[in-house]
Amino acid sequence: MQKYILLGDEAIARAGVDAGISGMYAYPGTPSTEIMEYVQLLKNKGEVSISCEWSANEKSALETALGMSYTGKRAMAAMKHVGLNVAADAFINSAITGVNGGLLVVAADDPSMHSSQNEQDSRFYGKFAFVPVFEPSGQQEAYDMVFDAFELSEKYSVPVLIRITTRLAHSRAEVTSRRPHPQKQIRLPEDSSRFILMPAIARKRYKTVLGNYEKLKMENRLSKYNVFRDGHNRNLGIIACGLAWNYLMENFSDEQIPYPVLKISAYPFDKDIIMNITERCREILVLEEGYPFVEEQLRGILDDGRRIYGRMDGAIPRDGELTPDIVAKALGISTGSGPRVPDLVAPRPPSFCKGCGHADMFNAITEAMKPYPFNGVFSDIGCYTLAALPPYSAINSCVDMGASVTMAVGAADAGLHPSVAVIGDSTFTHSGMTGLLDAVVKNSNVTVIIADNQTTGMTGGQKSSGTGRLKDICTGLGVDHKHVRTIVPLRKNHEENVRIIREEIDFQGPSVIIASRECIQTAARRKKSENKSETEKDQS
Amino acid sequence: MKSDIILAGVGGQGILSIAAAIGLAAASNRLFVKQSEVHGMSQRGGDVQSHLRISDRKIYSDLIPKGKADIIISVEPMEALRYLPWLSESGWIVSNSVPYVNIPSYPPAEEITAEIKKIRNSILFDAESVARDCGSVRSANMVILGAAAPFIGLPLTEIEKAVAGLFASKGEEVVKINLKAFRAGLTVTGRA
Ligand SMILES: Cc1ncc(C[n+]2csc(CCOP(=O)(O)OP(=O)(O)O)c2C)c(N)n1
């Protein structure tokens, strides 16, 4: 037993390590990134021997974790909420095959979109795939749940989803650890045919999965996290899910909550635990982070009879993350506020770092595109998306990872010229390569510009799978080597870079320009650590 | 004992080091700590904030309710104003007065000063020149921490110990500069 101060992300990683995982698999994405980084930190310190390299994308991460589970060892896959879209095929089908060694999938949702394209609620994926979901309310609970989730996973041979949101992922508190479990030995599945999802096998497995889902509702272990507390005022009953429970408790600080309260942190839950509170109380308030997942089930399609307050009737805003103030208002508790923000306070949006190569690259692209009537550029997700803001205003799209390439292909099919895609190096290896193959196969008239800063910049500079391999990947996919050009985005190369971009736009067919210059943040960190190891050498 | 603190600044100004120092001091005093921080875009010159809560009772919410913050500690003056709705009636603002201008619409410095001065309990001073005198302008965050320290509700010696602990891995010289900066900050508030 040891005490640590950990982010929610780190608490989950620490628990995974202590529960004896042999592999942690992930692709970076805010707010989930620190889960993998914590395991890598322990490995670099020599404290653990766990496989923990970044995967090319979330689908590879989850499948690799499933492969580890197949051998009987424990594994985890971590991702941000939209990463689970990319891994959805693997996730849903791994529920049908079942697992061998325990398998946990961690999805970090980002309500209010602090750094995401949407605020989807991963609990729906659990229901969709018939996978149990744990939703911790705090760092210690997150740590403890991982142990129970692994046991549940192995008992029912099912992956378990841990759903967290930004506030827990990125908030620190004290966590007490347990005695670590050793890693498991290889023990292959007795019935390995269940991993072959041919229809005849899958049909059988599906029935098992459906049956297990009913059993999961009854599972005692789940109810340990679904706690009911009675109250004397039965005019209102409160159902608080995961983190929402904290905001409820905050509002009553030291007083006893007068209303009956049901805390839900484990799904699926049985009808009985809901009836237990609804039968006792006149009205119900549902507090949950994300979509009205529980509220919608409670109301059902007919939504008649009982008065239910929540996100669907406006008692709580329909979108955005919860706060203690929002919960207070829903409870009719008066809220305070300090002075309002003076009008002179200006927004301070993020922007390219001083000296960032992306800025020079966009200056060249914008100038190269000037002569053409259509000045649009399909782009993607990363630091380079900041070119959407003035003074650049240089890109026209950012949808989902890899979409720049395929949208450019579609637009070229429609006859648009030039059709240019700008995609980061990490985004390219995540989901851009397959689109480029499409472009090669149909000889599409597109120009793909890879913004190669040799790192996954947006999420803090993680290793990028394509570093040093991009040219070979593009020629390997079939792009003519004469049309895989490399430029160095520096001011002094501006004229030459504009010329090269124009040449490739004018070329009829798929071409790639790799704009290669190390991210200045990564470069600065690298130099610092090189200097440090130099001095250490000098001293020894 | 309970102290709710909003930390504010711009990416790279070191507000997370302030949070870490207070957090360490609170933990070694056997208090509960919760510290929520915004990651992600901070490297790219955006605004950053952290909610830091310390208490001798269990803390539930990671976020401080509006109107409940005891102190806003800011390394940048306009950023201090961004979180005014969180400040309690008796709360303090302790802020650096040197603007970090990386946007075209940055308001005139005098107007910002005037707004901060409207708050009864406010301390606004040039933490960067104090830090420079201590050996490194980069320790301005520790100067600000020093100035805010008397309002936090923790023993000053504990915070000082935490500052030393925080920089221990960076060598003696760095520890010395940051301790000097912390003490210089304390002198500013006149309570050292
Ligand atoms: C499916 C999915 N996974 C992860 C993310 C999070 N994410 C956004 S940008 C980015 C990295 C982009 O790196 P790169 O393409 O190299 O561009 P850079 O930021 O370095 O310019 C990541 C991981 C996401 N938005 N969607």
CATH number of the domain that A75 lies in? Answer: 3.40.50.970
pLDDT tens sequence across A9-32 = 999 999 999 999 999 999 999 999
What's residue B128's pLDDT? 97
Domain boundaries of chain B, sorted by first residue: 2-188
Tell me which fold the domain B2-188 belongs to. Pyruvate-ferredoxin Oxidoreductase; domain 3 (3.40.920)
Give the pLDDT confidence score for residue A385 in this predicted structure: 96
What is the value of pTM for the model shown?
Answer: 0.96
Q: What is the pLDDT of residues A440-499, one digit of tens each?
A: 999 999 999 999 999 999 999 999 999 999 999 999 999 999 999 999 999 999 999 999
Distance A523 CA to ligand 1 centre (A): 19
CA-to-CA dists, residue A374 to A179, A370, A377, A385, A412, angstroms: 63, 9, 9, 19, 12
> At B190, is the pLDDT very low, low, confident or very high (cuts 50, 70, 90)?
low
Across the interface, of A34, A344, A460, the residue whose CB is closest to B115 is: A344
Residue B160: left (phi > 0), alpha (psi -120 to 50), or beta?
A: alpha
Confidence class for position A356, pLDDT limits 50, 70, 90? very high
Instruction: Find the closest chain A residue to B71 by CA distance.
Output: A338
C-alpha of residue A89 to centroid of ligand 1, in Å: 20
| Residue nearest atom 10 in ligand 1 by C-alpha distance | A382
Could you tell me if residue A341 is inside a domain?
no
Q: Which residue of A has its CA nearest to B19?
A: A172
Would residue A528 count as lying in a domain? no
Sequence-distant (6+) residues with CB within 8 A of B97 are B77, B109, B113, B124, B125, B126, B127
Q: What is the mean pLDDT of residues A143-148?
A: 97
Beta bridge partners of A7: A172
How do residues A81-128 score in pLDDT, each as one tens digit?
Answer: 999 999 999 999 999 999 999 999 999 999 999 989 999 999 999 999
A382 lines ligand 1 (CB under 6 A): yes
**Which residue's structure tokens are 């929610």?**
A8
Chain A stretch 144-173, residues whose beta carbon is closer than 8 A to a beta carbon of chain B: 167-168, 170-173
Strand partners, B22: none
CA distance A256 to A185: 48
User: In whole angstroms, what is the distance from residue B137 CA to residue B102 CA?
Assistant: 18
Final residue of a domain: which of A194, A220, A246?
Answer: A220
Q: By alpha-carbon position, which residue is closest to atom 24 of ligand 1?
A: A29
- Name the pLDDT band for A535 (thresholds 50, 70, 90): low
Tokens 């899910």 belong to: A241
Number of domain units in chain A: 3
What pLDDT score does A529 carry?
Answer: 84
Mean pLDDT over all residues of chain A? Answer: 95
Is it the case that residue A530 has pLDDT exceeding 50?
Answer: yes
A262 with A202, same domain? no
Bridge partners of A239? A262, A286
The H-or-E segment that residue B146 falls in is helix B140-148
Strand A307-309: give its sheet, edge to edge.
A227-229, A261-264, A236-241, A283-287, A307-309
- How many whole angstroms separate alpha carbon A67 and alpha carbon A63? 6
Would you call the peptide bond into A31 cis, given omega within 30 degrees of 0 as the criterion? yes
Both tokens of A191, joined, read 């019935």
Percent of chain B with pLDDT over 70: 96
Cβ-contact A377, B123 below 8 angstroms: no
Across the interface, do B85 and A340 touch by the CB < 8 Å criterion?
yes
Q: What secondary structure does DSSP assign to A301-319, as a single string?
A: TT--SSEEESTTTTSS-SS
Residue B158, min C-alpha distance to chain A (Å): 17
- Nearest CB neighbour to B85, from listed A171, A341, A352: A341
> Could you tell me the two tokens for A83?
């990463």
Q: A242 pLDDT exceeds 50?
A: yes
In a domain, A535, yes or no: no
Query: Number of helices (H) and strands (E), helices first, in chain A?
Result: 21, 17
Q: Of A132-146, A220-234, A438-452, A495-509, which range is least confident?
A: A220-234
What are the chain A neighbours of B119 within 8 Å (beta carbons)?
A: 339
Which residue is it, tokens 């595109």? A369
C-alpha A113, offset from chain centre: 12
Angle at A271 between CA A268 and CA A272, to 5 degrees: 120
**Cβ distance A372 to A347 under 8 Å?**
no
Report CB contact under 8 Å: B67, A338: yes
**Do A367 and A425 lie in a common domain?**
yes
Residue A463 Cα, ligand 1 centroid: separation in angstroms? 12
Residue of A nearest to B115 (CA): A342
Does residue A234 sit in the same domain as residue A255? Answer: yes
Residue A187 belongs to some domain of the structure? yes
Mark whether A211 and A232 lie in a shared domain: no
Nearest CA in chain B to A28: B40
A131 shares a domain with A108:
yes
Shared-domain flag, residues A312 and A369: no
CB-CB under 8 Å, A338 with B88: yes
Residues A116 and A237 in one domain: no
Per-residue pLDDT at A539:
56
**DSSP conformational letter for A341:** P
Same structural domain for residues A52 and A165?
yes
The token pair that represents A427 in the structure block: 């985004």
Please name the residue that has the structure tokens 């829903």: A330
The answer to whether the beta carbons of residues A317 and B62 sit under 8 Å apart is no
Exposure on the CB side of residue B136, measured as CA atoms within 13 A: 13
Instruction: Examine the domain organization and report whether A505 and A459 are in the same domain.
Output: yes
Q: What is the CATH number of the domain that holds A275?
A: 3.40.50.920
Helices B140-148 and B127-134: crossing angle, nearest 10°?
110
A266 and A152: one domain? no
- Count Cβ atoms below 10 Å from residue A155 Cβ, excluding itself: 14
Domain hosting residue A252, numbered range: 227-331
Dist CA A518 CA B88 (whole Å):
46
Q: pLDDT, tens digit, for every residue of A201-220?
A: 999 999 999 999 999 998 86
What mean pLDDT do residues A148-176 have?
97
Whether residue A512 sits in one domain with residue A394: yes
Structure tokens at B24: 């360490």
Decide which of A184, A204, A220 is a domain's last residue.
Answer: A220
Is residue A37's pLDDT more than 90? Answer: yes
Residue B192 has pLDDT above 50, yes or no: no
Supply the pLDDT for residue B41. 59
Find the A401 Cα to ligand 1 centroid distance in Å. Answer: 7
Cis peptide, bond prior to residue A391, ω within 30 of zero: yes
For residue A376, how far is its CA from the centre of ligand 1 (angstroms)?
A: 21
* Predicted confidence (pLDDT) per residue in B85-137, tens digit: 999 999 999 999 999 999 999 999 999 999 999 999 999 999 999 999 999 99
- The ipTM (two decimal places) reads 0.94
| Contact indicator for B18, B185 with CB cutoff of 8 Å | no
A-B interface: how many C-beta pairs under 8 angstroms? 147
pLDDT tens digits along A250-307: 999 878 999 999 999 999 999 999 999 999 999 999 999 999 999 999 999 988 788 9
* Closest CA relative to residue B18, chosen from B192, B178, B177: B178
Considering only CB atoms, B34 lies closest to which of A173, A336, A347, namely A173
Q: Where are the alpha helices (DSSP H) in A336-456?
A: 357-369, 403-413, 425-427, 433-441
- CA angle, A424 then A429 then A430, to 5°: 90
CB B182 within 8 A of CB B163: yes
Q: Are residues A431 and A512 in the same domain?
A: yes
Both tokens of A524, joined, read 């600065």
